[in-house]
């Protein structure tokens, strides 16, 4: 491409403007359908139509979109007011089971070091080893890493573990003072109050049948989206000396080219390379950027079917500068 990452950052500046009316509309057309769908599922199941539980899938999708709104609030890009962003983000954190202020700090660290091999594991990154590190590790360490990267764990057990357990207590953030604990425990209180009210209204049986599957669907989609946004074949990693934030954003983040309905559900976060170039761009401006600058559609592009192959990628090969599978590493294909 003729333009550099730095010039792209400048060219994207006009899109870094929140439009409050649009933001409130996006919130309304996500939150209200979620509440209506939840109530509709409950009414049908209560009447004996258990097939309606399939509605937990779109309900989970709407929870993902609520998380994207919370995510943009964390970047102070959803609304023009910092206070509005923070309070809507905190309230949505009760629905998404994510302590907003604690998560916001970790996610900022992810953006600050994404693609930097010397800053892996900071923020909410997915743990990634290089081929050399894996080969030099002990047998026990290799076993733990392979277990962690196994699709059943990563996309099956992992999402439930993160949202139901890890997000409930900020272990690992002891040195950060009281703020992570305040954010997490206040969110937990909000969750307890909301869930208590829902159980009182519909009964624990219907609550468990609807809410838990909906959250699990959302969590699985969320983990998968975060995974393919950085864990793809031709992603970019480099050491601190040669690491460049803008280049890493553009080349180390994918463009997940999903069908329009899925793009809407996931809040256009598939245009992740643009998001990492400038996190202050609201998600509702991302389609406009892709339309105005179609050349961005060719960088790190993944279709849904192509993205499925990313699940086997587990190691970064510094020699070939690409992600490889355990099988490829064992065959010394990198």
| Per-residue pLDDT reduced to its tens digit, 131-143 | 999 999 999 999 9
Q: Which residues face 317 on adjacent strands?
A: 322
Confidence (pLDDT) at 170: 84
| Per-residue pLDDT reduced to its tens digit, 15-44 | 999 999 999 999 999 999 999 999 999 999
Token match 């793809």: residue?
232
pTM of the shown model: 0.93
CA 243-68-17 angle, to 5 degrees, is 75
Name the pLDDT band for 6 (thresholds 50, 70, 90).
low
pLDDT of 122 strictly over 90: no
pLDDT of 4 strictly over 70: no
302 is in which domain, residue-wise?
5-330
* Range name among 94-98, 110-114, 141-145 with the lowest pLDDT average: 110-114
HEC sequence for the chain: CCCCHHHHHHHCHHHCCCCHHHHHHHHHHHHHHHHHHHHHHHHHHHCCCHHHHHHHHHHHHHHHHHHHHHHHHHCCCCCCCHHHHHHHHHHHHHHHCCCHHHHHHHHHHHHHHCCEHHHCCCCCCCCCEEHHHHHHCCHHHHHHHHHHHCHHHHHHHHHHHHHHHHHHCCCCCHHHCCHHHHHHHHHHHHHHHHHHHHHHHHCHHHHHHHHHHHHHHHHHHHHHHHHHCCCCCCCCCECCCCCCHHHHHHHCCCEECCCHHHHHHCCCCCEHHHHHHCCCCCHHHHHHHHHHCHHHHHCCEECHHHHHHHHHEEEEECCCCEEEEHHHHHCCCC
- State the angle between helix axes of 82-96 and 179-202 in degrees (0 to 180), rounded to the nearest 10: 50
Q: Are 45 and 206 in contact (CB under 8 A)?
A: yes
Domain total for the chain? 1
Strands 322-325, 313-317: pairing kind: antiparallel
pLDDT averaged over the chain? Answer: 93
């Amino acid at each position: 491409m003729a333009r550099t990452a730095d010039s792209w950052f400048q060219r994207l500046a006009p899109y870094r403007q929140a439009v409050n009316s649009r933001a409130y509309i996006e919130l309304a057309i996500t939150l209200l359908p979620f509440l209506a769908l939840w109530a509709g599922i409950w009414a049908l199941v209560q009447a004996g139509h258990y097939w309606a539980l399939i509605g937990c899938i779109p309900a989970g999708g709407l929870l993902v979109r609520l998380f994207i709104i919370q995510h943009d609030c964390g970047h102070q890009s959803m609304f023009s007011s910092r206070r509005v962003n923070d309070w809507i983000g905190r309230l949505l954190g009760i629905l998404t089971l994510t302590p907003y202020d604690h998560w916001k700090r970790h996610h900022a660290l992810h953006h600050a070091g994404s693609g930097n091999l010397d800053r892996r594991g900071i923020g909410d990154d997915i743990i990634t080893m290089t081929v050399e590190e894996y080969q030099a590790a002990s047998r026990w360490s290799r076993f733990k890493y392979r277990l962690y990267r196994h699709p059943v764990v990563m996309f099956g057990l992992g999402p439930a573990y993160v949202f139901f357990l890890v997000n409930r207590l900020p272990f690992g953030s002891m040195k950060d003072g009281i703020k992570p604990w305040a954010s997490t425990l206040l969110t937990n209180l909000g969750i307890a109050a909301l869930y208590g009210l829902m159980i009182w209204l519909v009964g624990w049986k219907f609550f468990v049948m609807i809410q838990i599957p909906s959250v699990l669907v959302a969590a699985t989609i969320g983990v998968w989206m975060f995974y393919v946004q950085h864990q793809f074949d031709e992603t970019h990693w480099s050491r601190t000396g040669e690491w460049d934030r803008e280049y890493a954003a553009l080349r180390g983040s994918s463009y997940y080219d999903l069908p329009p309905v899925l793009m809407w559900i996931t809040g256009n976060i598939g245009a992740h390379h643009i998001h990492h170039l400038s996190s202050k761009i609201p998600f509702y401006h991302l389609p406009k950027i892709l339309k105005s600058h179609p050349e961005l559609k060719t960088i790190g592009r993944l279709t849904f079917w192509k993205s499925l192959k990313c699940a086997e990628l587990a190691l970064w090969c510094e020699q070939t500068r690409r992600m490889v599978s355990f099988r490829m590493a064992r065959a010394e294909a990198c």
